[in-house]
Chains A and B, each alone.
Chain A
Amino acid sequence: MISDPSMFSSAPVLEGSDDDQLLRVSLGPQHPSTHGVFRMNVVLDGETVVSLKPVFGYLHRNHEKIAESVTYLSSMPYTDRLDYICPLSNNWAYANAVEKLAGIEVPERAEYMRVILAELTRLINHTAFMGFILGDMGAWGSALMYAFRERELILDLFEDLTGARMMANFMRFGGCRNDLPDGWAGKCSVLVDDYGPFLDEMEKFLVGNEILLVRCQDVGQLPAEKLINGGITGPMLRAAGVNYDIRKADPYGIYERFNFRIPLGEKGDVYDRIMIRFLEMRESLKILRQALDQLPEGDFVNPKAKIRGFKPPVGEAYARIEGPKGELGFHLISDGSVNPYRYRVRPPSFINLTLLEDMCLGLDLADVVIILGSIDIVLGEVDR
């Protein structure tokens, strides 16, 4: 056991007088059901945060190195376990990178299936976020249960399609593993119709709540410039009013065909981050509706794509998608053998976490928890 937690902290040794004593608190490590096993070394002056150093790595499992020693296909199930709330977006990002590396074409139907699955994943992520952030604020229970109830309906769809609720392992290089089962598109379309009323209910439940307003407004703001310099992406960045969504800025898949908008916030505080996710879910529903209406017949996987003994040509590729949490990218270097020479993930959770200290300085300890919640991290992706 670690007897002195401060040996892992880079915070300076603090000495205060009796009336101005600083207190060092080790927050965490928390149970995975909150955000993951994550610790913060916080230095407090009264209740005000003076310094905050994140400590992570508790969930490190050598994802990138393992991927370099197994075949390209064998890394696919490991990507499910990066951000375990949204496995299908991770699958897509990785499949995208390998397809770019090997120059594999994806059939139309597979592209539509991917868009549908990725947007369902976004719904899952943002819905679960609503529950988690309320849990962070102390409203443990109702909100999380409502969110998880609806999330479970989408997970049932995933189980029907992929065979697993969360660890889908569904995308393949050049398409998807299997075709939609009979009646799946119909079930999905019913779910999309029912999701709007649920979002209305959830908004009514949360948005006007005075306690939530007081807790969230004007908390954790940072200037947009700083966020851009910090490499922050996703809803965090858009809440501060920066119009940057990879679906529009660098379209991948078939996102150009859909009609949707990018919601933007104004202040970039925690409240804006919650609202931006509500609005994004509504845009996702729009995309889903269009994709389900246009879903063509055809191959679900490129018939020329190889499963056994897949060897991409020598080269290098970086492909990225707009994951629910931000830019999720995979960088692959191939030396022409069956396993990648270098495999690197650009995890949105990890990079969004880097500005945590700047957001928290000068605020109360209670705000730290909701700021951390509003970043929406999953430690499976931070630690890899």
Chain B
Amino acid sequence: MKIKLPGLGLLEGLAVTGKNMVQSFYKKERMTTVQYPEERAPISPNFRNFPFLVYDKDPQAGLRCTACSICEKECPPQCIYIVLERDENGKSLKRPKVFDIDISVCMNCGICAEVCPFDSIYMDGEYEMSTDDRFGGLLLGLDRLSKSAEYHMKLRPEQASEVMARRKADEEKKAAAAAAKAAKAKADAEAKKAAEQEKGGEA
């Protein structure tokens, strides 16, 4: 081992502390304190917090959620509660009557957003959600969970535009399929009519 003057190691360490102290006055990467709430550190575009539900156009009819309960089953701390809306005959209307997320239990893992097959649930970036009502204030229902597709677009442009493009393509495909079906039905009907007429003519 190298023999040093006793106390030299201490002084060397103190020099490091001194350097850091002096640099903390002028060096930009050392001035790391952000004066919250007057100023805010920029949040990463990937930052995730609590989930929200997306709707297109109308907050009630446009809700993408079909109450399939996949997120409810996969949720690790089991903080999602869904009740399916049914009409008077008991037939499923494919939309949630109740959709509650208890954000005092939610652990922000993002699995609900990952497993959703209907592009309906995504992770929000809002973080200033403190409340003095610890029961009602932290249990988010449909009214507070539903957010518009524009909000999603603003929050995560890349993800939202990809989803929108896919949904649009799907819709067009569906519309094309429906149109083709209608056209085919019409053609069939016409062919049938023509055949009947022919038959009638022969008779």
Contact = CB atoms under 8 A, between A and B. Distances in A.
Interface stretch (A18-26, A48-56, A206-214): A206-214
A204 B111 contact: no
A177 B10 contact: no
A208 B32 contact: no
Contact of A159 (B16, B20, B46, B75): B46
Interface stretch (A114-122, A162-170, A241-249): A162-170
Interface stretch (B1-9, B53-61, B170-178): B1-9
A146 B74 contact: no
A204 B4 CA distance: 14
B13 A205 contact: yes
B9 A77 contact: no
A210 B20 contact: no
Contact of A206 (B13, B70, B73, B110): B13
Interface in A150-194: 152, 156, 159-164, 167, 169, 177-178, 181
A178 B45 CA distance: 14
A307 B114 contact: yes
A302 interface: no
Measured as residues with beta carbon below 8 angstroms from the partner, the interface class of chain B is 20 to 34
A197 to B, nearest CB: 12
Contacts of B44: 156, 159-160, 163
Given A77-B107, A164-B108, A71 B74 contact: yes
Interface string B1-36: 000101111101100110010000000000010000
Nearest to A202: B16
Contacts, number: 83
B107 A167 contact: yes
B108 A167 contact: yes
A256 interface: no
Given A161-B46, A163-B123, A167-B107, A308 B117 contact: yes
A78 interface: yes
B12 A208 contact: yes
A73 interface: yes
Given A71-B74, A74-B76, A201-B16, A210 B111 contact: no
A6 interface: no
A208 B75 contact: no
Contacts of A10: none
A269 to B, nearest CB: 14
Of the candidates A71, A75, A205, the one having the most CB atoms from chain B within 10 angstroms of its own CB is A205
Nearest to A142: B17
Interface in A72-96: 73-78
A204 B8 CA distance: 11
Given A73-B74, A77-B76, A160 B32 contact: no
Nearest to A169: B109
Contacts of A70: 76
B74 A160 contact: no
Contact of A210 (B10, B70, B107): B10
Interface in B83-126: 107-111, 114-115, 117, 123
Contacts of B46: 159-163, 178, 181
B115 A308 contact: yes
Contact of B16 (A76, A156, A167, A205): A205
Contacts of B107: 77, 167
A380 B75 CA distance: 21
B111 A146 contact: no
B9 A78 contact: no
Contact of A167 (B6, B109, B115): B109
A177 B70 CA distance: 18
A149 interface: yes
Given A210-B10, A308-B70, A308-B117, A159 B47 contact: yes
Nearest to B32: A149
Interface in B105-164: 107-111, 114-115, 117, 123
Contacts of B117: 308
5 contacts: A73-B74, A77-B76, A149-B32, A167-B107, A204-B12
Interface of B: 4, 6-10, 12-13, 16-17, 20, 32, 44-48, 70, 73-76, 107-111, 114-115, 117, 123
Given A207-B9, A308-B70, 15 more contacts: A73-B111, A74-B111, A75-B76, A76-B109, A77-B107, A160-B45, A160-B46, A163-B44, A163-B110, A167-B107, A169-B110, A205-B13, A205-B16, A205-B17, A210-B6
